[in-house]
Structure 1
Amino acid sequence: MKNKTFTTGVIGTLVTILCCATPILNILLGSVGLASITGYLDYVLIPALAIFLTLAIFSYNKSSKSNCKNDSCCSVD
């Protein structure tokens, strides 16, 4: 993957989904003694997921359009 913004968006999305969908943060925070914070995780993780998804989609669309301008296969004659 050449585009660093797309890579960042995809990795951020995967990490956020991993923390949202699985109880990894609950287990980690509980073992450290910060289990009282787990009620507020949705206020942070859901917006982070939306931001990373938007970043990945935006950078993918931007790279697709720039690649299409440089290729002759995309031209309509």
Structure 2
Amino acid sequence: MAQAQQISSRQVQARFKGKSDTCSGFVLDRAMQRLTDTDDARPVSAIDVEFGDLSYFNRTVRKYFGLTPSQVRRMRGIIYAI
């Protein structure tokens, strides 16, 4: 995220300080939004959420949400139906 904005990682952290969310939480929320978007037909590997590494992205999503990104993508219609 810092590279994309051409600022230091410390500056990114500072922008989230004092807010209810963290930088990691923001990125994970953004990932979940993209994974559950029923209008987004891109494969999981094409979803750019600032992780830079697909295996790290998969591990992190699974750690925080208890599902792999592919599982979330397959369930997206069910999620909105609830």
TM-score when normalising by structure 2: 0.28
Higher relative contact order (CA 8 A, sep 6+): 1
The structure whose Rg is larger is: 1
TM-score when normalising by structure 1: 0.29
